[in-house]
Amino acid sequence: MLEVICGGMFAGKSEQLIHRLKRASYANKKIVAFKPAIDNRYSVEEIASHSGQTFRSIAVKNTFDMTEHITNDIDVIGIDEAQFFDPFIVEFVEILSKKIDIYVAGLDLDSAGKPFGSMPHLLAIADKVTKISAVCMKCGADATRSQRLVASTEQVLVGAKDSYEARCRKCWTP
């Protein structure tokens, strides 16, 4: 089973992922969670939500590094910030989701409004998609976009809160 949790920044994707992993842990499932090593905003050994929830995770550089942590007794895999992983994540998830439950969270769009990394592919092969919205910081409507507040040529700057705002489609400008 594969569920993909997507949306813009500040939508609460990591929070939803942590919620699912914690539920699985209450059911005594064996869980391994990953995040890309480039994201060290709050902690390199935890998935962290903006609201302060955390779940123990392994920071890895690429998909291959994830395979090295997969053992036969694992029931559930969680992956946060999936948009930053290399394209091999698609095959990794496709193969393992035949046997175990995988929850993936990530940005579906970058701040230019373009589909981000392997997320479009992951969304297409998912059994379940949960798309969540933030609140537009300009008008209060549902926000599906991430507005960059500082000039940069990077696809997404790592360092969340001060560089981005959640925006609705109307208030967002690429």
Residue pair 60/52 in contact (Cβ under 8 Å)? The answer is no
Nearer Cβ to Zn ion (80/165): 165
- How many whole angstroms separate alpha carbon 20 and alpha carbon 47? 12
Under DSSP, the state recorded for 51 is T
Residue pair 33/40 in contact (Cβ under 8 Å)? The answer is no
**Binding map of Zn ion across residues 76-115, x = CB under 5 A, - = no contact:** ----------------------------------------
**Binding map of Zn ion across residues 110-149, x = CB under 5 A, - = no contact:** --------------------------x-xx-x--------
Nearer Cβ to Zn ion (108/165): 165
Q: Which of 3, 15, 46, 81 is catalytic?
A: 81
Query: Cβ atoms within 10 A of the Cβ of 43, count?
Result: 14
Q: How many residues bind Zn ion (CB under 5 A)?
A: 6
**C-alpha to C-alpha distances, 23 to 20, 29, 45, nearest whole angstrom:** 5, 9, 20
Q: Is 81 a catalytic residue?
A: yes
- How many whole angstroms separate alpha carbon 34 and alpha carbon 31? 10
Q: CB 17 → Zn ion: shortest distance, Å?
A: 26
Q: Which residues bind Zn ion (CB under 5 A)?
A: 136, 138-139, 141, 168, 171
